[in-house]
Amino acid sequence: MSKPEIELKLPIFNSADFESRLRAHGYRVDTPRTFEHNTLYDTPSRDLRARTEILRIRRYGALCTVTHKRTTTHQNPTESSRYKVRIETETTVADGDALATIFTHLGYGPAFTYEKYRTEWSHPDEPTCHIVLDETPIGTYAELEGPPAWIDRTVIQLGLDPSTCLTDSYGKLFLDWKQRTGNPAENLTFAEIAPALASH
């Protein structure tokens, strides 16, 4: 089933403090800290990227999902500039390796891999809204997903700085980080990045 996805990211510099704020405002952990491995697939000429679409296989703990995301042509201009708005179609799969093989035979190969540890939070009064804390190899980020009014209210409620809100994907954040640091890593994985960080 396809559904709109509206979200914002914010950098988090003190995870313990952020989690304390969440608990103080009644948020609770839905999914404890779990390792997540994502691979984006595309054609050699990056046709999906050119159409601002993604095709992803995600392994999140024992769960494996396949996701397609695309932009929507029917959205509020304010939302399109202030929030990340995509149409998401996602389902679980029994065998991620088999699906990856199918993608390869269809001409879609691995284009980018990114990893993180994710903790999922929600509030009993807002069951359709979610906050996740993502620990990536290049920093920790919170993602707020829900209606724009809820996102704006929650940013203020949690004492976060609205000027730090981001709509960038992890791929874009990774490319910006590579440009700043000159790091040669090709993927946003702990194996590629952690040794380089440790050497500095």
Q: Which long-range contacts (CB under 8 A, 24 or more apart) does 41-50 make?
A: 41/100, 41/103, 41/108, 41/109, 41/110, 41/111, 42/108, 42/109, 42/111, 43/107, 43/108, 43/109, 44/107, 44/109, 46/111, 48/108, 49/111
Q: What is the CATH number for 45?
A: 2.40.320.10
Tens-place pLDDT, residues 73-101: 554 544 446 788 999 999 999 999 999 99
Strand partners, 39: 57, 113
pTM (two decimals): 0.90
Q: Which residue has the higher pLDDT, 76 or 72?
A: 72
pLDDT band of 196, cuts 50, 70, 90? low
- How many CA atoms, within 13 angstroms, populate the side-chain half-sphere of residue 88? 14
Number of domains, the chain: 1
Tens-place pLDDT, residues 130-168: 999 999 999 999 999 999 999 999 999 999 999 999 999
Domain that holds residue 169: 2-198
